[in-house]
């Protein structure tokens, strides 16, 4: 119970540094937002910032960790069903888009960066790889089970990957399509039978 | 015929400035690449650069113009067929990916930028809007003609848009899927009948 007052303030300032950094990264880019701009936005002096974070890079790492925490796709923790790869694919995309659409901290401009910045945050590259592996595993299971179209799996995987990456850039206030609808339409890439897709949607709603 | 020697050198240096700028933007980002870094890479002094370009922004505009020139999708100049929206969709994606995969100057890091940089290059935003309108028109024509699945056109359009944007980020040296294959698989989003898709591919090859 020592110094409870101090502890509270610490939490607050730390939170505010993270929030304002994310906002400035979003507006100016990671490279364009200086620690000076961050401290000015928070209303603290530069040495105070370094009390909480080693620097701008450390703030970036923490924002990315917060972004990755709720996603099972990008952390490789997606749980496959026993025997329903179509349902898995639907859930995988729906859940990822729900996370994306509800994210309050915008980390888009930490995610997509030229090599000089990207190499500072290798955890993004690893997350993208984990997501790709998960999508590939679901795709392969579906093809093996005879549930998915067997043609052109490499192209399908690239398209899945593209959509997972791009979802991050769909403007939050403009998107008028729900995660469930996206997931349903994406099934068309691997299932030609429209009533079969409707069945998957029904199973997903039953287990939601 | 006055000063032919000078004219030649002008052409060369200008070209080299554009090429090295694109390379540095790709590695360091637009914000990360200074005019100083550009002139050092080209092997000229800073005032020489300003003889050819008003500054970094002018270089960016010229690179974007070069990137947009060969694409009919992003310039809104795509020519619809009389009565074959499925073939149009196939050609639209195939052609755009051929442009993308053959682009020698990498403008990806000029394209996807946080607002502070994006507002310097409004032509990108206009190009993306033009591409979206073209894709929307093809989609609507196909649905009206009864050739495309009528369900969830908004979601399909977002997915088309996402893939057109993301194709730019497919690593040039790694992509193992051809533009024709991508175009074929993308038809699955709007055509459930697999033999009908095979027919479109045949028509496209006949008119290529």
Residue contact B116–A27, C-beta within 8 A? yes
A115 interfaces chain B, CB cutoff of 8 Å: yes
Q: Which of B49, B164, B132 is nearest to A162 (CA)?
A: B164
User: Measured between CB atoms, which of B115, B149, B154 is closest to A176?
Assistant: B154
CATH class of the structural domain A70-207: mainly alpha
Nearest CA to B18 out of B118, B107, B102 is that of: B107
Substitution target from A22, A188, A191 for chain B, most B beta carbons within 10 A = A188
Both structure tokens of A16 = 């505010």
B116 with A193: Cβ contact below 8 A: no
Name the closest residue on chain A to residue B180, using Cα atoms: A155
Complex ipTM value: 0.89
Does pLDDT of A37 surpass 60?
Answer: yes
The model's pLDDT over A116-174, given as tens digits with 9 standing for 90+, comes to: 899 999 999 999 999 999 999 999 999 999 999 999 999 999 999 999 988 887 766 55
Does residue A189 sit at the B interface (CB-CB below 8 Å)? Answer: yes
Q: Which residues in chain B have Cβ-Cβ distances shorter than 8 Å to A193?
A: 192
CATH architecture under which domain B4-53 falls: Orthogonal Bundle (1.10)
Q: Tens digit of pLDDT for each residue in A48-96? A: 999 999 999 999 999 999 999 989 999 889 999 989 999 999 999 999 9
Start-end of H helices in chain B: 4-28, 35-42, 46-52, 56-68, 85-102, 108-111, 115-118, 122-144, 153-167, 179-186, 194-207
Instruction: Mark yes or no for CB contact B181/A28 under 8 Å.
Output: no
Helix (H, G, I), strand (E, B) or coil at B95: helix
Decide if A100 contacts A168 (C-beta within 8 A).
yes
Whether residue B114 and residue A28 make contact (CB cut-off 8 A), yes or no, is yes
Across the range B53-68, mean pLDDT stands at 95
Closest approach of A21 to chain B, Cα-based (Å): 14
* Domain spans, chain B: 4-53, 70-207
Quote the distance between the C-alpha of residue B15 and its chain's center. Answer: 20
- For residue B29, list chain A residues with Cβ-Cβ distance below 8 A: 29, 31, 113-114, 116-117
Q: Which of B26, B116, B162 sits opposite A162 (nearest CB)?
A: B162
Q: What is the pLDDT at residue B3?
A: 42
Q: What is the DSSP letter of B69?
A: T
């Amino acid at each position: 119970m020592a110094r409870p007052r101090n502890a509270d303030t610490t939490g607050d300032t730390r939170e505010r540094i993270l929030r304002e950094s994310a906002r400035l990264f979003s507006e100016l880019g990671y490279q364009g937002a200086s620690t000076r701009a961050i401290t000015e936005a928070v209303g603290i002096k530069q040495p105070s910032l370094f009390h909480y974070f080693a620097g701008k890079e450390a703030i970036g790492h923490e924002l990315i960790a917060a972004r990755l925490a709720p996603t099972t796709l990008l952390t490789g923790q997606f749980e496959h069903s026993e025997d329903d790869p179509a349902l898995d694919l639907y859930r995988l995309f729906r859940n990822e888009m729900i996370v994306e659409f509800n994210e309050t901290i915008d980390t888009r401009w930490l995610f997509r960066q030229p090599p000089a910045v990207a190499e500072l945050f290798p955890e993004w590259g690893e997350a993208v790889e984990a997501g790709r592996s998960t999508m590939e595993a679901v795709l392969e299971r579906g093809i093996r089970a005879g549930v998915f179209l067997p043609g052109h799996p490499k192209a399908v995987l690239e398209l899945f990957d593209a959509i997972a990456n791009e979802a991050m850039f769909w403007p939050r206030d403009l998107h008028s399509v729900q995660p469930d609808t996206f997931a349903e339409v994406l099934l068309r890439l691997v299932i030609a039978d429209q009533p079969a897709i409707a069945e998957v949607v029904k199973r997903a709603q039953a287990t939601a």
